[in-house]
Each structure stands twice: as structure tokens, then as C-alpha cells.
């Protein structure tokens, strides 16, 4: 069965800390995505990557960066965490070529910034 | 640009009854897909049903069916014989072949009353 794994289910950090959220997929998917989920706003795309070492800004990239050194791993980085980054973060992956297949999601990381 | 609107923040239905969740969208793309995902309290995003825009026939998956009105840009989900396990947040993202990313609406929280 396909799997997208996020390193932490819950995470508590302090304002100003550098925070890393890790995501690994075992499906050999080209594309990987980071979303932020907030009540009443649905899922909003932060960054995505369509290949190793490639990245594209999504709709809300400010305050975030990403890293994709290997095909299966996509990291989201909060350079200097702030309280307004308290949220649920979801990672996903898909394969666009050979006919689109729906995105598979991880279980999410609920991040609290104190 | 693509947008999705889910105008019902919350819905409730009695167990075994039928409920319809609404979704409207806007897109400039000619090739696109529409999906319904459910997100139960466990947080795992689960694909419920998919619809290719070029197909006129409405998709069905067991108790779940869609009413796809392409001209009206409407994509509603009907759940028949509602079960307690259907309680979840429901999202109806759109995927455009040009944009190659999902765009989500605000979501609808569905409650099943025993």
C-alpha cells in the first residue's frame, strides 16, 4: 500500500526557533506538496516540488522554505517560527505523468508555536 | 486561476438518511479533474470519488455519487444510507492539467446523528 509519512504527529516549538517538518513517500512520485490547514480556510498550498532540488512557491510561501535533496523526501522549514504559524501541516505526493493519479496525503503534523 | 467554493460550513444528517454536499468551482482550464476527499478525526485524507471533466457520466462509488454539472461548474456529493463512519470534513479540490496542483475549498463538516 502507498504511504506518505510525516515525522511528527504533534510538535510544540517556541517563537524564533527554526523548525523542520519532514515528509517521506515510498511511491516514487515526482511531485510533493506542503499544505497548511486552518479552520474555515481549507488547505492552502505553501510550496511544492516537481523534481529533486526543484521547488515552486504556492499560495502562502512567506515565512517558509523547503528542501528536496532526494526524490522521496520533502522538508518544510520554518526559518524563525512565529505564533501565526500554529496550524496543521499536511504533506502530499502525486505522479502527473502517464495519466494523473490523485494525491496521497500524510497524517498531518499539528504544530503549536508558543 | 482556479477557485473552489463550499458554501456549507456544516451539515448534519440522521443515520441511514441521504445527504448532499455542495461544491462550485471556477477554472479556465479545459482539462481538469474534480475530487471529493474526506478527513475523519484521525486526520487521514481519504479519496472518496473522482470525476474527469471530459466524462459526462457521473461517477459513483458504492454509497457515494456525484452530480457533475459542467456548464454550471457544480460538483455535489450525495451520500446515501449515511453511516456513523461518514462523519468527517469533506473537501472537493480541483486539479487542472496546466496548473498541476490541487486547489481546495473551505470544507464542509458532516455530522451523522444516530
Q: What is the pLDDT of residues A30-54, one digit of tens each?
A: 999 999 999 999 999 999 999 998 9
Average pLDDT value for residue range A47-66: 94
Average pLDDT value for residue range A84-111: 89
Average pLDDT value for residue range A47-63: 94
Q: Do A90 and B33 touch (CB under 8 A)?
A: no
Rounded Cα gap, residues B113 and B83, in angstroms: 9
Q: Look at residue B98 in the predicted model and tell me its pLDDT.
A: 84
Q: Look at residue A45 in the predicted model and tell me its pLDDT.
A: 96
CB–CB of B23/B105 below 8 Å?
yes
Average pLDDT value for residue range B99-111: 93
Average pLDDT value for residue range A26-31: 90
Q: Do B104 and A43 touch (CB under 8 A)?
A: yes
B chain contacts of residue A23, beta-carbon cutoff 8 Å: none
- Any chain B CB within 8 A of the CB of A107? yes
Domain ranges of chain A: 4-113
Q: Look at residue B85 in the predicted model and tell me its pLDDT.
A: 95
The two counts, helices (H) then strands (E), for chain B are 0, 13
Closest to B34 in 3D by CA, of B88, B111, B105 = B105
A chain contacts of residue B55, beta-carbon cutoff 8 Å: none
- CB interface of A with B, residues 7-36, below 8 Å: 31, 33, 35
Average pLDDT value for residue range A70-88: 97
- The helix (run of H) or strand (run of E) holding residue B72 is none
Q: Do A44 and B104 touch (CB under 8 A)?
A: yes
- Any chain B CB within 8 A of the CB of A42? yes
- CATH number, domain A4-113, options 2.60.40.650, 2.60.40.10, 2.60.40.680, 3.40.50.720: 2.60.40.10
Please report the domains of chain B, with CATH numbers, ordered by start residue: 3-113 (2.60.40.10)
Rounded Cα gap, residues A88 and A100, in angstroms: 26
CB–CB of B94/B33 below 8 Å?
yes
- List, for residues B30-77, the tens digit of each pLDDT value: 889 999 999 998 888 999 999 999 988 999 999 999 999 999 999 999
10 Å CB burial of residue B51 (0-12, 13-18, 19+) is: buried
DSSP state letters, B44-69: --EEEEEEETT--SPPEETTEEEEEE
Q: Kindly report the number of other CB atoms within 10 A of residue A38's CB atom.
A: 12
A chain contacts of residue B33, beta-carbon cutoff 8 Å: 100, 102
Q: A19 is written with which cell numbers?
A: 523548525
Amino acid at each position: 500500500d502507498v504511504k506518505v509519512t510525516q515525522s511528527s504527529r504533534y510538535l510544540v516549538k517556541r517563537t524564533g526557533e527554526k523548525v523542520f517538518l519532514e515528509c517521506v513517500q515510498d511511491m516514487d512520485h515526482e511531485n510533493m506538496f506542503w499544505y497548511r490547514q486552518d479552520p474555515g480556510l481549507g488547505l492552502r498550498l505553501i510550496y511544492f516540488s516537481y523534481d529533486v532540488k526543484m521547488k515552486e512557491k504556492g499560495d502562502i510561501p512567506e515565512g517558509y522554505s523547503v528542501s528536496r535533496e532526494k526524490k522521496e523526501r520533502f522538508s518544510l522549514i520554518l526559518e524563525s517560527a512565529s505564533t501565526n504559524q500554529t496550524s496543521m501541516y499536511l504533506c502530499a505526493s502525486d505522479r502527473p505523468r502517464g495519466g494523473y493519479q490523485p494525491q496521497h496525503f500524510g497524517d498531518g503534523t499539528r504544530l503549536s508555536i508558543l | 486561476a482556479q477557485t473552489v467554493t463550499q458554501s456549507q460550513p456544516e451539515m448534519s444528517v440522521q443515520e441511514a438518511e441521504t445527504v448532499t454536499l455542495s461544491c462550485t468551482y471556477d477554472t479556465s482550464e479545459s482539462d481538469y479533474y474534480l475530487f471529493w476527499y474526506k478527513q475523519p478525526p484521525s486526520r487521514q485524507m481519504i479519496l472518496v470519488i473522482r470525476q474527469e471533466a471530459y466524462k459526462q457520466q457521473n461517477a459513483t462509488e458504492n454509497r457515494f455519487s456525484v452530480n457533475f454539472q459542467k456548464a454550471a461548474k457544480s460538483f455535489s456529493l450525495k451520500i446515501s444510507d449515511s453511516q456513523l463512519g461518514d462523519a468527517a470534513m469533506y473537501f472537493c479540490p480541483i486539479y487542472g492539467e496546466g496548473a498541476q496542483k490541487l486547489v481546495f475549498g473551505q470544507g464542509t463538516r458532516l455530522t451523522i446523528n444516530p
